[in-house]
Amino acid sequence: MSRMHAALTRRLSADSGFTITEVLVAMMVFAIMSIGLAYGITNALVLTQESRSRQTALNLASQDLDKLRSLANPFEIRSTTADTQQPFTVGQQAYTLSRTTQWVDSSGRSSSCGTDGTTLAYKSITSTVSWKSGRGKPLSVSLDTLIAPNSRINADGTGAILVTIRNAAGTGAAGIPVTIAANPAGGGASVAAPAVTDGSGCTYALKVQPGTYTVSASTPGGIDSTQQAVATNQNVTVSAGTDAAVTFTYDQAHTFQVGYGTTYPGGTAKLPTNLTTTLYNGVGGSSVFTGTPTSIKAFPYQDGYQFMAGSYVSADGGGSATCLNPNPGKWTTATNGAIGQAPQAVDAAAGVVDPVSKKVTVPMGVVTVPVDKDYPFITAVSDSAAPDFDPGCNAPNPKTLSFSGITAGNVPIALPYGTWSIYESKTAGATTPSTSKNLVQTASNKITFPNGGGQTNNAGFLIFKWGDTVTLDPRKVP
């Protein structure tokens, strides 16, 4: 009987079905297969949709080029800007069409706007359609074509003016108005204002009579690389049958808030009435501003500006005339370990107006001089015979700085770095012995240095030279 019971138990155990472990494994295998199948189906659908979108984009680009080929005047075809790009919606997919152009001249050279002294031959055009895939990935397609004018761009007796405007980043400055005026007695004729610059920074004046012209470009808040609100070329010569090219560098100005290093323990020094301020950039060189401005609009060079009191004239552009001592970085001779350190560059961004809280302080030295009540004017004259450690100033017309509204007593005055003779006089600007007194020579024992004096290695420390000049020295111990 027991033998029969054991056999029955074995048979029932064999018919008991899957264990829970087997069920879980089967479900996991099924899930993996399902996910793989779903991913494959989804990926196929996405690729199909991207393929359809790509074909639609190619059709849109092709239609754009077909439309452009029907235009008789290639000058009507302009590079697009962010504002002039064309949006399309096909089905539920959004597309954007943009366009870039390049002129090819008679010598085979290509450029965005054309080159000087040649004749424009044809225009290279690239139409680009962009969109985002279902996964959010940016995609685009581009098609190119060449378009030549149906006839000569200029009549036999005329020429063209090709204008290129680049911004601080070196790319085309779009939307800039341009004017062209014939110079008096220059042989030209009136020219209608061309269209504003396109996305490549280009605009054109066609069928211009031979002669000389003044070409200008400006827009509110704009400034050119020479710190002028209006970019101007006054000597553009147009010849029959060829093109004259004009290039400007123009962008929205950066506005700096400016202060001057006139404070010292116990008070504020008086500024010269005719102080100049230099903003120096390695590309643009020195830009000199007059009138001790409290705000300065400047071209937004990407590496910014160094600020200096006085007129800094470097030898970057060649020549021997220099005025280096306004720049502390040019005081390269060390004394007691102290050496000059170049001012830190201040960033400049196009169209940005700095708040007052971001004011740039222009460093200066301060000296206190005794003034007689009968001599209400002070004049400081830079001395070219400076000490060896002073890099000097031998530029034409030595700096002469004037102070007015002086009252009797000890008067603190602020000066750019360098070596100075200081005079008090009865009339403004007088420096001759009959009308003035050299304060350093006649009252040296009464001159004080409120922000540091002698060999103390402070910013703006002063020393005497030969009893008749005073040196404001910016060197510091690194």
pLDDT, tens digit (0-9, with 9 covering 90-100), for 465-474: 656 788 888 8
Alpha carbon distance 305, 280 (integer Å): 5
Cα(99)–Cα(113) distance, integer angstroms: 14
pLDDT value for 176: 96
Position 458 pLDDT exceeds 50: no
Q: Are residues 416 and 447 in the same domain?
A: yes
Judge if 78 and 197 occupy the same domain. no
pLDDT of residue 153: 66
Residues 295 and 385 in one domain: yes
Stronger pLDDT, 7 or 219, i.e. the higher one:
219
Are residues 145 and 276 located together in one domain of the fold? no
Question: 425 lies in a domain?
Answer: yes
- Give the β-pairing of 418-425 and 469-473: antiparallel
Same domain, 108 and 207: no
**Residue that finishes a domain, picked among 252, 283, 298:** 252
Amino acid letter at 273?
Answer: T
Residue 456 has a pLDDT of 42
- Full residue range of the structural domain in which residue 278 is found: 253-478
pLDDT of amino acid 172: 92
What dihedral angle (degrees, nearest 10) is formed by the CA atoms of 270, 386, 319, 330?
-70
Q: Examine the domain organization and report whether 326 and 457 are in the same domain.
A: yes
Provide the pLDDT for residue 108.
Answer: 79
End-to-end Cα separation, the chain, in angstroms? 108
Sequence-ordered list of residues with C-beta below 8 angstroms from that of 328, at least 6 positions apart, any chain:
340, 341, 342, 343, 363, 417, 474, 475
Q: Which of 129, 151, 173 is the last residue of a domain?
A: 151
Buried b (16+ CB within 10 A) or exposed e, 90-126: eeebebbbbbbbbbbbeeeeebbbbbeebbbbbbebb
In this predicted structure, what is the pLDDT of residue 209? 94
Inside any domain, residue 4: no
123 pLDDT tier (thresholds 50, 70, 90): confident
Q: How many domains does the chain have?
A: 3
Overall average pLDDT of the 389-411 stretch: 84
Residues 43 and 256: their CA atoms lie apart, in Å, by: 54
| Residue 436 pLDDT greater than 70, yes or no | yes
- The enclosing domain of 167 has a CATH number of 2.60.40.1120
Percentage with pLDDT > 90 across the chain: 42
343, 413 in Cβ contact below 8 A?
no
SS3 106: coil
For residue 245, being part of any structural domain is answered with yes
- CA–CA gap between residue 35 and residue 33 (Å, rounded): 6
Is 142 part of any domain? yes
For the chain, the average pLDDT equals 85
84-120 pLDDT, tens digit per residue, is: 899 989 888 899 999 998 888 777 788 888 777 777 7
H/E stretch holding 143:
strand 138-147
Interatomic CA distance for residues 251 and 169, integer angstroms: 9
Rounded to whole angstroms, how far apart are CA atoms 254 and 67?
41
pLDDT (0 to 100) of residue 401: 93
Answer yes or no: do 283 and 302 share one domain.
Answer: yes
Q: What residue has token string 């054309």?
A: 114
The dihedral region occupied by 374, where left means phi > 0, alpha psi between -120 and 50, and beta the remainder, is alpha
Over residues 34-48, the pLDDT tens digits come to 776 666 655 555 556
Is pLDDT of 69 > 80?
A: yes
| Domain-embedded: residue 35 | yes
Q: Which of 123, 151, 179 is the last residue of a domain?
A: 151
Please report the pLDDT score of residue 318 as a whole number.
64
**Could you tell me if 59 and 81 lie in one domain?**
yes
How confident is the model at residue 254, as a pLDDT?
98
Q: Please report the pLDDT score of residue 241 as a whole number.
A: 83
For CA atoms 331, 337, 342, 346, give the dihedral sign.
negative
126 lies in a domain?
yes
Q: Is residue 5 part of a domain?
A: no
pLDDT number for residue 182: 96
Residue in 204, 200, 205, 201 with CA at minimum distance from that of residue 188: 205
Mean pLDDT across the stretch 148-171?
Answer: 84
Structural domain includes residue 403: yes
Tell whether 175 and 218 lie within a shared domain. Answer: yes
- Residues 36 and 48: their CA atoms lie apart, in Å, by 18
- Residue 204's pLDDT is 92
Is there a single domain that holds both residue 371 and residue 248?
no
Same domain for 212 and 272? no
Question: pLDDT value at position 46?
Answer: 52
| Residue 455 pLDDT level (bands cut at 50, 70, 90) | very low
Chain-centroid distance of CA 468 in Å reads 44
Q: Residue 315 pLDDT > 70, yes or no?
A: yes
> Are 366 and 265 contacting, i.e. CB atoms less than 8 angstroms apart?
no
Specify the pLDDT at position 272.
95
With a cut of 90, say whether residue 214 has pLDDT above it. Answer: yes
Given a cut of 70, whether residue 20 has pLDDT beyond it is yes
By the 10 Å C-beta count (0-12 exposed, 13-18 middle, 19+ buried), 253 is classed as buried
Whether residue 29 is predicted with pLDDT greater than 90 in this model: the reply is no
Per cent of the chain over pLDDT 70 is 86
Say what the pLDDT of residue 40 is. Answer: 61
Residue at token pair 């959004």: 94
pLDDT on residue 17: 58
Assigned token pair, 74: 């290639």
What is the rounded average pLDDT of the residues 8-19? Answer: 57
Identify the weakest region by mean pLDDT among 177-186, 252-261, 416-425: 416-425
pLDDT for 39 equals 64
**Higher pLDDT pick, 246 / 429:** 246
- Paired residues of 86 in beta bridges: 97
- Kindly state the average pLDDT of the residues 408-419: 90
C-alpha 394 chain-centroid distance: 31
Residue 220 neighbours by CB under 8 Å, 6+ apart: none
One domain for residues 244 and 278: no
Mean pLDDT over 244-254 rounds to: 96
**Phi/psi zone of residue 352: left (φ > 0), alpha (ψ -120 to 50 degrees), beta?**
beta
> Lowest mean pLDDT: which of 73-87, 197-211, 223-237?
73-87
